Amino acid sequence: MPSSQPVDPASHGPARTVTEIFPDTNQLKVLAHPMRLRILGILRRDGPATATQLAQRLGLNSGATSYHLRQLAQHGLISDDETRGNARDRWWRATHETTRVEPAAVDDPAARAAVGAFNRTVALSYVAELQASLDERADLPREWADVIDDSDWNIWLTPAQVNEALERIHAILDELHRAAPAWSENPPDRAVLYTVQLHGFPRPGKIARPDET
């Protein structure tokens, strides 16, 4: 289990601005494709790359990779990295570091469907990453094995209490994020890319839908 020692975000580095996107319905539809979501994730985590590099990493042919890149670029999710490459090698970068989706603000059927499809794709990607973590966990050094967390809680809470808790948790993680580099070109000493997956939801089947009341 993780240590109870307080986290000091200032020890990571000076705070920086983290760019965010609140995707519209069309952007969510693009991101609901698993491969496009993976491509965007790679560019966000590891920095700019070419279509050839991405194709090799993902096990795709260059044509399929280029198609997905064009779809992402067309909808403003990635763009050319003009500081790299030449006439032969086109480098791509993510235009934003994080995606923010507010399901509660969605009030039309098409948008709700897009949010739902996007969330399902994201959930499947989380499961895949968690499985990969489990596969290598036994071989990790002790210092990293000791800071893996598989906790869950079932607590009676009101919406207001949940909102307060999420705001506090997000504030800690956002502070750490702003203190860390944008990608892996210059990580802090002894640091690795650490994934935090936060899932919180009313227990399924415990809340009546509006059309059932």
Per domain, the residue ranges of the chain are 9-212
Mean pLDDT of 164-168: 96
Greater pLDDT, 91 or 207 = 91
pLDDT tens digits for 32-71? 999 999 999 999 999 999 999 999 999 999 999 999 999 9
Greater pLDDT, 96 or 110 = 96
Residue 9 is predicted with a pLDDT of 47
Pick the CATH number of 9-212 from 1.10.10.10, 3.60.15.10, 1.10.3720.10, 3.50.50.60: 1.10.10.10
Residue 104 is predicted with a pLDDT of 62
User: pLDDT band at 6, cuts 50/70/90?
Assistant: very low
Query: Virtual CA dihedral for 96, 102, 106, 110, nearest 10 degrees?
Result: 50
- Residue indicated by tokens 């090799």: 56
Mean pLDDT of 118-144: 95
CB distance 29 to 36 below 8 Å: no
Helix residue spans in the chain (DSSP H): 25-31, 34-46, 51-58, 62-74, 109-137, 142-145, 159-179
